[in-house]
Amino acid sequence: MKKYIVTIIVLLIIIFLSVCGYFVFANTKENQGNSEDMLKEKATSEIEFLNTNIIDIMNELNNISYTNYKIINQDVNISSESSENEVQTSENTIDRASIEYESTLNEEDDKIDWETIKETTENVYSSWTTILIDLTTLNVNRGNLLKFNDLLDQIISAEEEENKEACLSYSANLYNLLALYLNDFSNDEQLKNVYNTKSNILYAYSVIDGENWGEANNYIEKAKNEFNKIMNNQVNNINSIDEVNKSYILINELSDDVNKQSKKTFFINYQEVMQELENIIL
């Protein structure tokens, strides 16, 4: 009798340990999954940081700004009652705000602000080590990771020489690496489509100064093909339908600008489409 009781107790202990082991394993696997998801989210934010800085570098090379208006504050002396749109700030003075629109391109000043560009490049350089560790952990292609540092060194050399054409070319190559990194770790197909679209537009933008219209046309066609994947999936774009449709129109406008070999209108449409692409909620 005692033998049977011992056997039953042993079996219960084995069953208890097995159940505990299962839950520990399941919990560990879930934690690993959550940890990987968090790392992917962090890496995506880091890619967005690089995205902003690389585009800023390329825009600065042609004095292009995404801010095309500024607020002007004026002090106005008055001796009568203020209008309803004005705010009384002292007994005899009001503050009146007005909007003054700035041109996307500063045609009167072709001088490149190399110091600002160098500062932006330094921001990228100083952040890369941390980003590299995260991307390596996510098993991003190591060969492509090594290319980033090489291209960054080439950009720095081009900036020291104030070589605009080389700086644009290297920066476009650098941006393309961001799309490749996302392809390696992200499950967000539309995000990857947007980055691939922007990469091709930036490649076209990088060769416009040299008036390489044929090459620019090839890149814009690739951008159109990539963006069509987003257009064909409108169900997932309900929150950004206006931005998606406007981006589609502007990419086609870029194609027309290239065919007409119009650098000025290309830059204007480039600035607008890049803003719209940034505003798409995926």
- pLDDT bin (cut points 50, 70, 90) of residue 280 is confident
pLDDT at position 33, please? Answer: 54
pLDDT at position 82, please? Answer: 40
- pLDDT bin (cut points 50, 70, 90) of residue 102 is very low
Averaged pLDDT for residues 50-60: 97
pLDDT at position 25, please? Answer: 53
Q: Do the Cβ atoms of 159 and 121 come closer than 8 Å? A: yes
pLDDT exceeds cutoff 90 at 30 = no
Give phi and psi for 110, each to the nearest 5: -90, 0
pLDDT exceeds cutoff 60 at 56 = yes
26: Cα separation from own chain's centroid: 36
pLDDT at position 72, please? Answer: 40
pLDDT exceeds cutoff 60 at 114 = yes
Q: What's the pLDDT tens digit per position in 207-244?
A: 998 999 999 999 999 999 999 999 887 665 667 788 89
Q: What's the pLDDT tens digit per position in 160-216?
A: 999 999 999 999 999 999 999 999 999 999 999 999 999 999 999 999 989 999 999
Q: Which two tokens stand for residue 141?
A: 């292609």
The more confident residue out of 79 and 264 is 264
Q: Which of 121, 206, 123, 207 is nearest to 160 (CA)?
A: 121
Averaged pLDDT for residues 119-125: 96
What span, in angstroms and rounded, lies between the C-alpha atoms of 59 and 117? 9
pLDDT exceeds cutoff 80 at 79 = no
Q: What's the pLDDT tens digit per position in 245-258?
A: 999 999 999 999 99
pLDDT at position 222, please? Answer: 97
Neighbours of 277 (CB within 10 A): 22
